[in-house]
Amino acid sequence: MDFSQITQQVTVDLDRALKEIQVDQIEDFITRIKTTKRVFVYGLGRERLVLQAFAMRLMHLGFDVHVVGDVTTPRIGKDDLFVTSSGTGYLSTVAALMPIAKEAGANIALVTAAADSPLLEHVDTCVLISVKTMRDDPSAQSSIQPLGALFEQTMYLMLDSIVLRLKQSMNITDESMTEFHTNLE
């Protein structure tokens, strides 16, 4: 395959994956973001990068948001939202942090590709992205992309679309978002 064929196939895969996400799951997630006191995001690897990008945009919308693991992350508490992801459905650090967040009174949102994830017992809301991940049989892959790439890309586009829905529903302009943009550049 040449570059053009590869990008065309990636685009087809992303379109299919995004269309399969349940709108009611997205709307519940959006409602929880809008009604929370603070948002805390946690992920590993490429999923962490996607969640950091999401945290940045939430900050641009005026939300009080923190990336778990940063030295300035405060204590999570009542009425906060802990947003995490695990494409494969289980990460030991996510499993360890969920009960801490729950005991502190926070709500938990999970983005995953695993409908059978043991992490689901701890969550208040979940967005399921129905794609193959590195946990699945490689011969059963429905995408040309390796490992969890399709999950990560779909999560990125989904979260950016959620930002657009929040921006729209909260009547936030691009100009007002720039007021929250860093000036230390």
Edge-to-edge strand list for the sheet holding 65-67: 65-67, 39-42, 81-86, 107-112, 125-128
CA–CA separation, 59 and 180 (whole Å): 7
Q: Which of 152, 175, 179, 185 is catalytic?
A: 152
* 152 assigned to active site: yes
End-to-end CA distance of the chain: 40
Catalytic positions are: 152
